[in-house]
Amino acid sequence: MSRKPVRDSEDAIPYRPKVATRKGEPVEPGPFGRRLDAVMKERGIGPTGLARDSGVPKSTITSLTRGDQKSPSVENAAKLAATLDMAVEYLMDEQGEIILTEIVDRFLESEWALRLVPPFGEEDRKTLQRISPAKWRKAPPNDQAVFHLVQGGRAGTL
């Protein structure tokens, strides 16, 4: 039985990720898949690592980010959100990130932001992502409340 020769590196076919298609047309991922993909890229996490840490199959994660699957089961959404240390709503609803960005931008322009030592950073943003955006839609926090939420996150009491 003969084996096929291994291609030389200069003859290798470049890797192209598979794109989900329906009837030959590319399929866009749903809001959950888009947010999940953005958070994974932002944090430098691949589907294999996220699958290992969350217990959600890698095939499910890639199906979500490619668009084969529009939304996960409630159980998988909760596992992914817990692993990424954020409220499930941030992955389910792109509006949550928009609301958070507006709150953070307003806060950074306030006198309360100047009181933070060290200055507001990415870990502080992650702290605020743990809070459900549904609460902020009803009553957005003022700058003083954001300051205290960040301080509570830094002290480990949030």
**Predicted confidence (pLDDT) per residue in 19-31, tens digit:** 555 566 666 777 8
Please tell me the predicted confidence (pLDDT) of residue 52. 94
Question: Under the phi-then-psi rule, with left for phi > 0, alpha for psi from -120 to 50, and beta for the rest, what region is 104?
Answer: alpha
pTM to 2 decimals? Answer: 0.61
User: Are the beta carbons of 109 and 85 closer than 8 angstroms?
Assistant: no
pLDDT band at 80 (very low <50, low <70, confident <90, very high): very high
Please tell me the predicted confidence (pLDDT) of residue 20. 54
Rounded distance between C-alpha atoms, residue 129 and residue 96, angstroms? 9
Count how many residues are written for the chain. 158
Rounded distance between C-alpha atoms, residue 123 and residue 149, angstroms? 12
Q: Is the pLDDT of residue 39 over 80?
A: yes
What are the residue ranges spanned by the domains of the chain? 21-92, 94-155
pLDDT band at 72 (very low <50, low <70, confident <90, very high): confident
Please tell me the predicted confidence (pLDDT) of residue 55. 95
Which helix H or strand E contains 26, and what residues bound it?
Answer: strand 25-26
For domain 21-92, give the fold: 434 Repressor (Amino-terminal Domain) (1.10.260)
Q: Is the pLDDT of residue 94 over 70?
A: no
The residues facing 25 across adjacent strands are 22
Please tell me the predicted confidence (pLDDT) of residue 3. 44
Q: Is the pLDDT of residue 68 over 90?
A: no
Please tell me the predicted confidence (pLDDT) of residue 66. 87
Of residues 156 and 7, the one with the higher pLDDT is 156
pLDDT band at 71 (very low <50, low <70, confident <90, very high): confident
Please tell me the predicted confidence (pLDDT) of residue 25. 67
